[in-house]
Structure 1
Amino acid sequence: MLPFSPSELAEIAVKVEENGMAFYEALAEKTKDKDARELFSFMAKEEKQHLETFKQMAKKLASYGFPEPHNADEYVNYIRELIDSNIFTKDLNAAALAEKTCSPVDAIDLALGFEKDSVIFYIQFKKIVPEEERFAIQALVDEENHHINRLLVLKRAITSSSEDFYRSQPGIGDAEK
């Protein structure tokens, strides 16, 4: 028997989304970059929607049993590692975490890691839920992938504009010439 039921994994996903929402709200308050603030606010709202989806799913899965995978020990160890390594599964002071970021790019890099961890966790979670719940999880995976893409686009825009700034300033970077 696996140590996690599908409903327990859904509750972990709720925690991931709660912490993600709080983190993005804190980043939106902290950042001075308008585009970053808008994106972080948007992502906080998306995480709230995901949270509600997982809450409903946890209720539906409360009585669901599932067959043990053929490689149960390996699967259990993998899921435990995913849970233990994802900061959003723990109690989190989102404001303090956001304060530790030094720049919009630093915040984006941190957010990218969280989004990627969430995708990996949700893909594994999808494997043990009933067929009728897999579509909902896949839709959330697709949204998380969309978040990753939006973060990467913003990061590129920020880094290219700062590179343009330095290129436009006479004397900056000319020390080696």
Structure 2
Amino acid sequence: MAAYSVNEIIEMAVQIERNGYAFYDEAAKRKDLDDDSRKLITWLRDAELDHEKTFLRLRDEVDNMVLELSTDWDMVAAYLKTIVESRIFNNEDSAIRKAAEAKDLMGVIDNAITFEKDTLLYFHAISDGISNDKAKTALRRIINEEVSHILKLNDFKKSLS
């Protein structure tokens, strides 16, 4: 199996963030949301856009630096491929469809939690495969933000019960 290049890995991360943005943007349009739900979903949507911008900046810097891949990059690339193939949103259309077709707010929140967990797995795998300090720092920041998204969504879900 051919390993992904660093540029491909970053492009996949950008696409994951775009898919998340599409999901949250569509979810924010739902008529069954109250103000608190809409506020949370809009905040998550905006965070996806911020993450996309971070990855785009990182991608632009890849041309000017070597990210110092770890020695087990082939294993990391195989793991990334598995994550990408099994994630909840494979493209923006599927993300929009998941938001629009969710039965209710609980369904939207469940899909959002699954998306954030998929994203977290992917970003951990990237982080494990890159030893460049600047790239690792950017990824750690995003990973911490993704963890906070999961915690916020989980707390919100508990408040609905």
Q: Call closer, same or farther: CA 1:67–1:18 in 2, change over 3 Å.
A: closer
Q: Call closer, same or farther: CA 1:158–1:61 in 2, change over 3 Å.
A: same
- Which letter does structure 1 place at the counterpart of 2:29? E
Paired residue total: 158
- Partners of 2:116 and 2:150 within 8 A in 1: yes
Structure 2 match to 1:141: 143
- Partners of 2:20 and 2:48 within 8 A in 1: yes
Tell me the secondary structure at the aligned position of residue 84 of structure 1.
Answer: helix
Q: Percent identity?
A: 26
Structure 2 match to 1:3: 3
Query: Deviation string for 1:105-126 (max 9, x for gaps)?
Result: 1110110011011111001111
**Which residue, out of 136, 151, 158, partners 1:156?**
158
Query: Deviation string for 1:31-64 (max 9, x for gaps)?
Result: 4222111100010011100000001111112363
In 2, Cα distance between equivalents of 1:78 and 1:126: 12
In 2, Cα distance between equivalents of 1:40 and 1:113: 14
In 2, Cα distance between equivalents of 1:20 and 1:96: 12
In structure 1, runs of 5+ residues without a counterpart are 160-177
Further displaced range: 127-136 or 56-65:
56-65
- Partners of 1:24 and 1:40 within 8 A in 2: yes
Deviation at 1:7, TM superposition (A): 1.9
Structure 1 match to 2:106: 105
- Partners of 2:123 and 2:143 within 8 A in 1: yes
Structure 2 match to 1:127: 128
Structure 2 match to 1:115: 116
Q: Call closer, same or farther: CA 1:106–1:52 in 2, change over 3 Å.
A: same
1:64 and 2:36 correspond = no
Further displaced range: 80-89 or 130-139:
80-89
Q: Please provide the CA RMSD for this pair.
A: 2.0
1:80 and 2:51 correspond = no
Which protein, 1 or 2, shows the higher relative CO under an 8 Å CA cutoff with sep ≥ 6?
A: 2
Structure 2 match to 1:171: none
| TM-score, length of structure 2 as denominator length | 0.88
In structure 2, runs of 5+ residues without a counterpart are none
- The structure with the larger Rg is 1
Q: Call closer, same or farther: CA 1:6–1:24 in 2, change over 3 Å.
A: same
Q: Call closer, same or farther: CA 1:33–1:126 in 2, change over 3 Å.
A: same
Q: Call closer, same or farther: CA 1:149–1:83 in 2, change over 3 Å.
A: same
In 2, Cα distance between equivalents of 1:52 and 1:67: 22
In 2, Cα distance between equivalents of 1:124 and 1:24: 24
Deviation at 1:71, TM superposition (A): 7.2
